[in-house]
Structure 1
Amino acid sequence: MADVLIIEDDATIRTALVRALTARGHSAMTSPTAMDGLQSLVAHRPDVVLLDLGLPDLDGSALLAMIRAVSDVPVIVVTARDDGAEIVSLLDAGADDHLVKPFAIDQLEARIRAVLRRTTTTPATGPLVVGGLVIDARARTVTLDAEPIDLSPREFDLLHHLAERAGEVVSKRQLLSEVWHLPYGGADRSVDVHLHWLRRKLGETAEAPRYLHRVRGVGVRLAAPDAATGAPADGS
């Protein structure tokens, strides 16, 4: 069961969520404003945050950035805004999942279970090593040739996902489903953008790849420089 922090300004919704979550064995605390929520996060270190976007003192997207500056806690955005572009932006900024109001409590509980599975899974074999890359999922750190690389949460998740499948070609459809947790569609451009940023931080380009190789019409493959053979690569 999870300790859940609900950051929501609507008292009726707060009460309903607390009642429903506690009935399912979770513990729940609430905050009606962004700054109160941030203070509760730091003080109580919950397992999951449910974050409403329409807060009275600060937009939830701004609070998300503040949360990510101090914590890797899973954040599920709960919003009445059904804007696909905004949702993609929030996921790129570090949200782990989202729900559009109104929603069933069973949906919320399933999302909580899913984000906890993703964030509490302990790597069985320690850090992943691909050539000079070392990806440590426990510490969420990456080094390249013993030098640390500063990645955003989404960049880290993308690189870790590819490293778990080093040498394999992974499609955009798979990445959107398994890293972004989105259906394939208009959001696939987000994969290209993040691969571009990731290449820059790895000191390479699509035209001269070392680790990240795009396979035309198929997907992308992460491989150590001396193992990067196979299908030809091209820019994204």
Structure 2
Amino acid sequence: MKLLVADDDPQLVRALRITLASQGYTVVTAADGAEAVRVAASEHPDLVLLDLGMPQVDGLDVIHALRGWMDGPIIVVSGRTGSGDKVDALDAGADDYVTKPFQMDELLARLRALARRTSAAPSEPSVTFGDVAVDLAAHTVVRGGEAVHLTPTEWRMLEFLVRNPGSLVTRQTLLREIWGTDQATDTGYLRLYMSQLRKKLEPDPSHPVHLLTESGMGYRLTP
């Protein structure tokens, strides 16, 4: 896989380039937001690691620009720890959010999980709930006759719930499925992703009838 690392911290970029190259990834880099968009357009990376607070063009604007034509995963790697920043990044189209400082092994695990999900080839039929149709084979979601765009992480969360209709799916199970590690901890990401899915798929996101929360346990999909 080819990865774009976009960050204005040269020491971090150097460390990531060395570590990722040792894991077999091809790495291209950018030191500011404008360069990130240019490099992405010319190099066509499979996945982007992106800082939010970069010169020239802010990371959120970079995400918006990339999502105009790029479907590959985007992982935000940022020192901004506020929940508002995370929500904004996910709303813009990011698939994951890693807070600095981070453990390199956790970042590598998330990269592997995203790579597995992106390259997977499900062969399941369509499943419907309410006015939503989910085609597991084609990786498409249609609501009321209109196509709905999901990020890779949103898709994976919905896919796992769809494959277990009516059953309680625990938070730990979802964390393991999404990030590919038993050591993953719930830092609020699941709630953010579920909120995004409800905005896109529920008639009234504040009063969901299909994507339900089981307090203290996990989530359940009901027809």
Equivalence for 2:100: 101
Task: Please give the alpha-carbon distance, in whole angstroms, between the structure 1 residues aligned to 2:103 and 2:171.
Answer: 30
Residues 27-51 of structure 1: CA deviation (Å, up to 9, x unaligned)? 1111112122122223222122110
> After superposition, where does 1:1-236 map in structure 2 within 5 Å?
2-123=1-122, 125-130=123-128, 133-137=132-136, 139-144=138-143, 147-153=145-151, 156-170=155-169, 178=177, 183-184=185-186, 190=192, 191=194, 194-195=197-198, 197-200=200-203, 206=207, 209=209, 212=210, 214=212, 217=215, 220-224=219-223
The answer (yes or no) to whether the contact 2:170–2:218 under 8 Å persists in 1 is: yes
Q: Could you tell me the percent identity over the aligned residues?
A: 31
Distance 2:150 2:46 in 1: 20
How many pairs align? 216
Give unpaired runs (5+ residues) of structure 1: 225-236
- Superposed displacement of residue 188, structure 1: 6.5
C-alpha distance in 2 between matches for 1:204 and 1:17: 38
Q: Which amino acid aligns with 2:202?
A: R
Q: Is the 8 A contact 1:91 1:97 kept in 2?
A: yes
SS at match of 1:70: coil
Residues of 2 paired with 1:111 and 1:32: CA distance? 23
**What is the identity, as a one-letter code, of the residue corresponding to 1:78?**
V
Structure 2 gap segments, 5+ residues each: none
CA-to-partner distance for each residue in 1:10-64, whole Å, 9 max, x for gaps?
A: 2333223222222332211111121221222232221221101121012212212
Q: Is the 8 A contact 2:4 2:45 kept in 1?
A: yes
What CA distance in whole angstroms lies between the structure 1 residues aligned with 2:109 and 2:83?
Answer: 21
Change (3 A) 1:98 1:205: closer
* Contact 1:155/1:198 (8 A) holds in 2: no
- Contact kept, 8 Å, 1:130 with 1:223, in 2: the verdict is no
Q: TM-score, normalised by structure 2?
A: 0.75
Q: Do the aligned residues in 2 keep the contact of 1:141 with 1:148 (CA within 8 Å)?
A: no
The 1:158–1:198 alpha-carbon spacing in structure 2 relative to 1, beyond 3 Å, is: farther
Higher alpha-carbon Rg:
1
What is the RMSD computed on CA atoms of the aligned residues?
3.5
SS at match of 2:202: helix
